[in-house]
Each structure stands twice: as C-alpha cells, then as structure tokens.
Amino acid sequence: MAKPPRGKTARAWQRMLSGRRLDLLDPSPFDIEIEDIARGLARVARWNGQTSGDHAFSVAEHSVIVEDLFFCLNPEASKEERLTALLHDAAEYVIGDMISPFKNALGLDYRAFENRLEEAIHIRFGLPAKMSPKLKKEIKKCDIYCAWLEATQIAGFTIEEANQFFLTPPPNIRMNIAPKSVIAAERMFLERFTELS
C-alpha cells in the first residue's frame, strides 16, 4: 500500500454514489443516505460468497429476512423497533460483512469503529443511538436464526452442523432462502425501509 506524500494524511473518507463523503473515523449522520446503504448492502455477500445459487446472498436480503423473523416473533413490535432490526447490519455497507471469527480476531478497535458507524446510522434515521439490551438481544436471536436458515439452505451445512453453531429457529418459523440479484435485493431493502419509516 502506498504511503501518502510527506506532510499529508491518508484519506479516511469514502465517496458514496449519492455524492456524500462519509468520514470513516468520525461518521456524521448527515453523510448517510438510505440509497447508499441499500446499494452497498445489496453488493455485500454473506458467507464470503460461499453459497449456492446463481447470485450471492446479500446482506440486504439477509436484513429483510431478519426483520421478518423479528416481526414474526414480536408481533407487538413498533415500527421503530422493526426499523432497528432492518438496519442491524447497515454498517456493513461501508465495512463489508466480515465473518464473526475474523471480527473476534481483530478485537475491540474494529468493534468500536463498527459501533460508531451504527450509532450515526441510527441517529440519521431517528432511532436511539444505542439499542436497549433487550432489543439488541431479540434482534441478535433473529440474526442467528437467519444464519441457521442460510447455513442449511445455501451454505452447505447439514442440520446437525448448523445446530452446533447457530440457534435452531422454532418449528413454526420456516423461510425459503433464495438469493436474489443485486438489483432485486436493493429494491427489496428500500421497499421495506419505506414501509417502516
């Protein structure tokens, strides 16, 4: 990697297609647009792309399914809570979808960066900067249920293997995981966002 010229600092912002420049070290809610999030998440592959089908399974599609699971299990949830569930991986539009073992290897600096970006996203869309522990736990549970469904349907895990690493969804929760094109995943994410906001 080339070093910046003497006396200049390395660029720490990313230009989005909306024209926004997102400061990666100090993200501002004013530089976050839902269209940039949807576009980015639709192009980020879950499972490092190691899934079956003609298309990668995107974080955008995963996010919609997690929100579906959350609402199925929490039918009394407010639109704000459902929007929080939809945006649970929104920071990945900038940082990508690192598998959990790699996040753990990187340690707290990575988590702190991810948390700052998540807080800016929440503020941008009128949500509390930090989730309540109860809401975070409920969304995480749905995230892991979704991982089980993905693992057994498109990522090559047997049910026995998936049961070792993920939470098995309740018997009444069954969803078909069918990776969509980038355009379809982006549209699906934006439609759900519009419904909830």
The burial class, CB within 10 Å (0-12 / 13-18 / 19+), for 91 is buried
Q: 86 or 103: whose pLDDT is higher?
A: 86
Residue 92 CB contacts under 8 Å (≥ 6 apart), including other chains: 40, 41, 44, 59
pLDDT of residue 138: 98
Q: Tell me the mean pLDDT in the region 154-172.
A: 95
What pLDDT does 39 receive? 97
pLDDT in tens, 1-29: 455 556 566 778 889 999 999 988 889 99
- Within 8 A by CB and 6+ apart from 20, the residues are 31, 32, 33, 36
Give the pLDDT confidence of 120-149 residue by residue, as tens digits.
999 999 999 999 999 999 999 999 999 999
Residue 108, pLDDT score? 55
Measured CA to CA in angstroms, residue 18 lies from 39, 93, 130 at distances of 10, 13, 26
pTM for this one?
0.90
Helix (H, G, I), strand (E, B) or coil at 15: strand
- The CATH superfamily label for domain 23-196 reads Hypothetical protein af1432 (1.10.3210.10)
Q: Which residues of 12-44 are buried (b: 16+ CB within 10 A; e: fewer)?
A: eebebeeebebeeeebeeebbbbebbbbbbbbb
Q: What is the DSSP letter of 35?
A: H
Residue 96: per-residue pLDDT? 81
pLDDT of residue 114: 85
Residue from 52, 160, 140, 164 nearest 89 by CA: 140
pLDDT of 47 above 90: yes
- Structure confidence at residue 6 (pLDDT): 65
- Residue 141, CA atoms < 13 Å, CB-side half-sphere: 15
pLDDT at position 182: 97
Pair of tokens at residue 21: 């420049």
Contacts of 189 (CB under 8 A, 6+ apart): 37, 38, 41, 42, 60, 61, 63, 64, 86
